[in-house]
Amino acid sequence: MLSNLAVRDIETLVHPYTNLAAHRETGPLVLESGKGVYVYDSNGKEYLEGMAGLWCTALGYSNQELIETAYEQMKKLPFQHIFGGRSHDPAIELAEKLKEIAPVPISKVFYGASGSDANDTQIKIVWYMNNALGRPQKKKIISRLKGYHGVTVASASLTGLPNNHIDFDLPLPGILHTSCPHHYRFAEPGESEQDFSSRMAAELEEMILREGPDTVAAFIAEPVMGAGGAITPPAGYFEKINAVLAKYDILFIADEVITGFGRTGNMFGTTTYGLAADTLSCAKQITSAYFPLSAVMMNERVYEVLVDQSRKIGTFGHGNTYAGHPVGCAVAVKTLEIYQRERIVEHVRSVSPTFLRRLTKLEEHPLVGEARGVGMIGGVELVRDKATKASFEIKKGVGPKSVLFAQQEGLILRAMGDRVAFCPPLIMKEAEIEEMFDRYERALDKTLAWAKAEGLLAA
């Protein structure tokens, strides 16, 4: 029997990334409150939030400093745009702080409201820049299969996931996708991670040469692939990719929307994996998700082109109403202050061994083919046969079933096909990490029993 809230939800909302037909039968999980690393549903049931919302609530729920910061800024200046040369202190202070902590030399910051619009901005800047430089043919952007970069028309084109393209008439022309660097799933028999990375770099170079280096403008990558399955890169991957991009004067866009601000054990995943980034996209943990905000950070080379072209045209004709929102910027400044004061990166490094030990231990389970992560993000791949790595039929929904069982155990995770992601708040303590994996192990046992009863396992 669906609750009144559930019925109201069904009759009023269209939910993102949801089977809308199935939702009409099952209804929503209605969450009403949160504190620390826990959230509570409308019946008062407690859940460990194993996904930090959507990879974003780094400081957990009900952080009073962030709440009070938002309230004080609301009282002082609840809104002001930064079009036409207007500004305000929170936007300026945040940009200064971002430049200070950036993993590569950064000249300027451009604000938005989401990771999707940040990557949309990246595309527009790449096109604008090459027009300004007299290279109108150098416009193609290479992303990766299973990469995730957003859902606007342009950023969804960068995303390399079929469900983001099917029946949306995407991707746009000029957006290309090179191979997914998932060693477990796509390496050849006996191929080492270094050799696999060399092959991935060679395939990228072959694509560039096939398209024509004078037509390829940029390459975009997440340090850790998020919605594609929480996939960490193989050894040597970005070092080899960096060399290819430098060889053909191709801009490197680092999508730090998920990995920025401590997730990988450094302030940015760019540092963890040595990306030679020219620009970066940030969002999510920049405010611990307490306010929608994104930032594109660019180097001096890119900024100078924007200045010169603005001088020629008379304006830089891009931006949105909420760019540099004073409440969002104030919350972000406070968030960065808390990260530094509470030594959040050091905390991640201190608890990461426990997180990774429990994550990799899941490989002992009969359903788990791979369990791999970095810092406090990781992915588990459920398989039909561990020896052959044979996958389940995706329509059987084994990954989502395990997440449903986890929910029954009081744990919120996210399934992406038969890969399940772990991405808890960065404030999570060791005991809470242990409890998170205890709950998922029980969920896996339930999933195994269900799969056997359904006849889904290899004979």
Task: Give the pLDDT score at 2.
Answer: 84
pLDDT of residue 191: 98
User: DSSP per residue over 81-116, as a string?
Assistant: --GGG---HHHHHHHHHHHHH-SS---EEEEESSHH
Give the pLDDT confidence of 354-383 residue by residue, as tens digits: 999 999 999 999 999 999 999 999 999 999
Task: Please state, in angstroms and rounded to a whole number, the distance separating the CA atoms of residues 157 and 96.
Answer: 32
Arch. (CATH architecture) of 66-341: 3-Layer(aba) Sandwich (3.40)
3-class state of residue 192 by DSSP:
coil
19-63: pLDDT as tens digits: 999 999 999 999 999 999 999 999 999 999 999 999 999 999 999
Q: Supply 362's token pair.
A: 């899941």
Q: Are 132 and 263 in contact, with CB atoms under 8 Å apart?
A: no
Residue 296 CB neighbours (<10 A): 24
DSSP string, 231-295: BPPPTTHHHHHHHHHHHTT-EEEEE-TTTTTTTTSSS-HHHHHT---SEEEE-GGGTTTSS--EE
Q: Find, among 62, 29, 35, the residue nearest to 49 by Cα.
A: 35
Q: Could you say which of 1.10.3720.10, 3.90.1150.10, 2.30.30.100, 3.40.50.11310 is the CATH number of the domain covering 4-62+343-453?
A: 3.90.1150.10
Tell me the one-letter amino acid at 456: L
Decide if pLDDT at 228 tops 80: yes
Tens digit of each residue's pLDDT (9 = 90 or more) over 211-225: 999 999 999 999 999
Per domain, the residue ranges of the chain are 4-62+343-453, 66-341
pLDDT in tens, 163-187: 999 999 999 999 999 999 999 999 9
For 300-319, the DSSP string reads HHHHHHHHHHHHHHSS----
Beta bridge partners of residue 220, listed in sequence order: 253
